[in-house]
Structure 1
Amino acid sequence: MSDDHETATDPDDVTLSRIETEVALLMRLGEATRRATGTAEHRVLDRAAYVILRHLDATGPQNVSALAARLNLDGSTVTRQVAALQRDGLIDRAPDPTDGRGTVISPTPAGLHRMAAVQAARVRLYGDMLADWDPADRDNLAEMLRRLNEALERRTRRR
């Protein structure tokens, strides 16, 4: 028997292949669900703006470089996204207290309001989709996703 055949039937490899398939489907279906959701609440922020506002809400004001590093994005990409958020009145810039030459960004009340509306709509959506799940299964899913996200973050920081 060849090594390739043994690897293909290794239970751990089979499980990892299933995980890879399910994550790929999750990403595709998650985006398709976001696009197909008809409520205006889901469309008040694009995905990038939502992620930036959620991060700033959780961590406090930051400069663009720190934000880009934390979100694993190119600085120029974050700069463009931040400019759009500022133009829409969703973030403010202020002098960086640790470096007078720089600025930090923080969400405005309008930005936090829109972010909260999107978050609430998403919570309702997942509540509807998972309504027939046992609460322990929902809790287990949340914990497993948290652990997966932590592993993905560790992986991207090693690059």
Structure 2
Amino acid sequence: MASPLRQEGIDKAELDLADELGVQLVRFMRLVGKTAKSMMAKQGANGVERAAYAILFHLIHDGPQRTSKLAESLHSEISTISRQSSALVQHGLVERQADPEDGRACLLAPTAEGLRVFEESRRHRNEWLAGVLADWPEDDRRTLSDLLDRLNSGLEAHTPQICEQNKGA
């Protein structure tokens, strides 16, 4: 049975190019991970796991959330999110709030210190990226941003199909 993502008429050249892109994406993800780890170490993450900052990012961008929703969004186990969010709470970056819809539950929300740490980290990342791209023409930088946005949108649109496809594998 053909993959639901597979389009009629995809030829070998297109698949070869997709393979080249895949290799570059893996290389890119490794370099970004290595760089992020190095930057976090240099900034002194106060003992908070690097992965825990993904929780902070989601809370800042999507608002206060239950642990279960964060686990779903981050494709992680609730126990992992609970452990990481506890570390964020201990460091004053996240706080627990009563859930207005269910008083028995709590929401996680960023604190003012969490927002400050996030913005500082974002500033460092932006300075680093600006330095990496400093000798690129402005049009190339804009094109890269536009193409990454387009790629991310395509990945987001096709992710549920990929997940459904892999369930039967």
CA distance in structure 2 between the aligned counterparts of 1:84 and 1:23, rounded to whole angstroms:
31
Task: Quote the residue 1:41 is aligned against.
Answer: 43
CA change 1:135–1:13 in 2 (3 A) is: same
Instruction: Give the aligned CA root-mean-square deviation in angstroms.
Output: 2.2
Structure 1 length-normalised TM: 0.83
Residue 107 (structure 1) aligned with residue 103 (structure 2): no
Helix, strand or coil for the counterpart of 1:47? Answer: coil
Helix, strand or coil for the counterpart of 1:127? Answer: helix
> Percent of pairs identical after alignment?
34
CA change 1:129–1:46 in 2 (3 A) is: farther
Q: Is the 8 A contact 1:90 1:112 kept in 2?
A: yes
Task: Quote the residue 1:148 is aligned against.
Answer: 151
How many residues align? The count is: 151
CA change 1:106–1:37 in 2 (3 A) is: closer
Which runs of 5 or more residues in structure 1 are unaligned? 1-8
Helix, strand or coil for the counterpart of 2:21? Answer: helix
Could you tell me how far 1:58 is from its partner in structure 2? 1.2
Helix, strand or coil for the counterpart of 2:76? Answer: coil
CA distance in structure 1 between the aligned counterparts of 2:14 and 2:38, rounded to whole angstroms:
35
For 1:47-75, what per-residue CA distance to the aligned partner results, in whole angstroms no more than 9, with x for missing partners?
32322212111111111111111222222
Describe how 1:60-139 pairs up with structure 2 within 5 A: 60-139=63-142
For 1:73, the aligned partner's letter is: S
CA change 1:122–1:42 in 2 (3 A) is: farther
Helix, strand or coil for the counterpart of 2:51? Answer: helix
Q: Is the 8 A contact 2:66 2:107 kept in 1?
A: yes
For 1:7-58, what per-residue CA distance to the aligned partner results, in whole angstroms no more than 9, with x for missing partners?
xx82201110111000110011112223344983374664323222121111
Using the TM superposition, name which of 112-121 and 68-77 deviates more. Answer: 68-77
Describe how 1:24-35 pairs up with structure 2 within 5 A: 24-35=26-37
CA change 1:135–1:39 in 2 (3 A) is: farther
CA distance in structure 1 between the aligned counterparts of 2:74 and 2:152, rounded to whole angstroms:
12
Q: Which has the higher helix share?
A: 1
CA distance in structure 1 between the aligned counterparts of 2:102 and 2:160, rounded to whole angstroms:
25
Q: Is the 8 A contact 2:96 2:106 kept in 1?
A: yes
Could you tell me how far 1:145 is from its partner in structure 2? 2.1
CA distance in structure 2 between the aligned counterparts of 1:38 and 1:78, rounded to whole angstroms:
19
Could you tell me how far 1:152 is from its partner in structure 2? 3.5
